[in-house]
Structure 1
């Protein structure tokens, strides 16, 4: 990794009742918040040691005095659909002069620093690097130069996101490489067993909303 590499992180402010709502449907709002806070901590742990520049894009409002104070630049996502938010973030970061840019969310417990470093390495020989998610989406997208067409007319938050993105990449003539597949946390069943054990006191506590 070098000075021409940058990482974009899409995050939300950890707020009870507003994060991981599909987890909350099973385990309650307190458990959902605890799961998301754990995901944020994991994402921070696997990114803070990277030698590239890092940009945190908040979904709603920029938060002060949180995990992302040291070594991260803070920005706000555009208030449009996911595709345009992704493209806008890429455009802003590429506009600062970077050559290779990757974006990740904060939902992947299988993400590692080694995977991220591998993604940037692969961008030296590819136009596009994708980390497939097992639900049909992706947990990482790496690009050399912003291409808006890659984000147009994609059925976001469906099992067809990866397939549609790969189809668009082929149409655009982009040389693409795939990282190993990983699982995102969307529902309580997606939460790693070890994490569930740690969160047992939260999910069973009075007022947690567990079912």
Structure 2
């Protein structure tokens, strides 16, 4: 890609913040409007965390990019996710990054308040000596996955959005003999009980 400035790229999966379509599991207990407000807050938090990085950043939307949104204003490359289930969409995004010439690719979501810039930097540093890195989430999934080449096995035969995905992926690492590293576990904001991971003063700022 013409404007590529790094050998590493961070792919961030996001949804456009729309009422009734964001954080649907959370909305079951807090309502659609509050869930939307929380998701907008998490998107701002994600921007805050990724902006200091020196890697190239790609934003991949579940639908289509929103004209003039904060990701465009930040100058990030923006794409639409391609594929059906989550694994297929992740596979396509990561494969495209390697085709673009990147040597280290990390993919993450946009709903983990606890994720810090230092953790993302550590993930890329670990890929200098490991072929894969995983950031497990406390619900059994993962908040981050990184690799130095495309491993299609990571994206098939998984029960996506279940507590088994993280362990199934680690089993792939072991079965394929891939040198890997595991980051500290963090909590995604999926349920109302997960909101406790957001500091009180930040929760107060959005009325939760």
TM superposition score normalised by structure 2: 0.93
Superposed counterparts of 1:102-113, under 5 Å: 102-113=106-117
1:93-114 Cα distance to aligned partner (Å, 9 max, x none): 1111110000010010001110
| Alignment partner of 1:91 out of 91, 95, 103 | 95
Runs of 5+ unmatched residues, structure 2: none
Tell me if 1:30 matches 2:47. Answer: no
SS at the partner of 2:60? strand
Would the aligned equivalents of 2:83 and 2:92 in 1 still touch at CA under 8 Å?
A: no
Deviation at 1:67, TM superposition (A): 1.3
Tell me how far apart the structure 2 counterparts of residues 183 and 144 of structure 1 sit (CA, whole Å).
25
Partners of 1:124 and 1:79 in 2: CA distance? 30
Offset of residue 80 of structure 1: 1.0
Report the Cα distance in structure 2 between the residues aligned to 1:146 and 1:50, rounded to whole angstroms: 22
Q: Secondary structure at the match of 1:68?
A: helix
How far apart are residue 196 of structure 1 and its match? 3.5
Conserved in 2, the CA contact under 8 Å of 1:8 and 1:102?
A: yes
Q: Do 1:48 and 1:71's aligned partners in 2 also have CA atoms closer than 8 Å? A: no
Cross-structure match for 2:126: 122
Answering whether residue 60 of structure 2 is matched by residue 57 of structure 1, we say yes
Is it true that 1:197 corresponds to 2:204 in the alignment?
A: yes
CA distance in 1, matches of 2:90, 2:49: 21
Aligned length: 200
How far is 1:128 from its partner? 0.4
RMSD: 1.2
Runs (4+) of structure 1 moved beyond 6 Å? none
Q: Is it true that 1:15 corresponds to 2:22 in the alignment? A: no
Distance in 2, matches of 1:3 and 1:97, equals 10
Equivalent of 1:43 in 46, 49, 60: 46
Provide the residue aligned with 1:73 in structure 2: 77
- Asked whether the 8 Å contact 1:131–1:181 carries over to 2, the reply is yes
Tell me the SS of whatever aligns to 1:126. coil
Deviation at 1:193, TM superposition (A): 5.2
What TM-score do you get using the length of structure 1 for normalisation?
A: 0.91
User: How far off is 1:149 after superposition?
Assistant: 1.0
SS of alignment partner, residue 140 of structure 2: coil
What's the CA shift for 1:71?
2.9
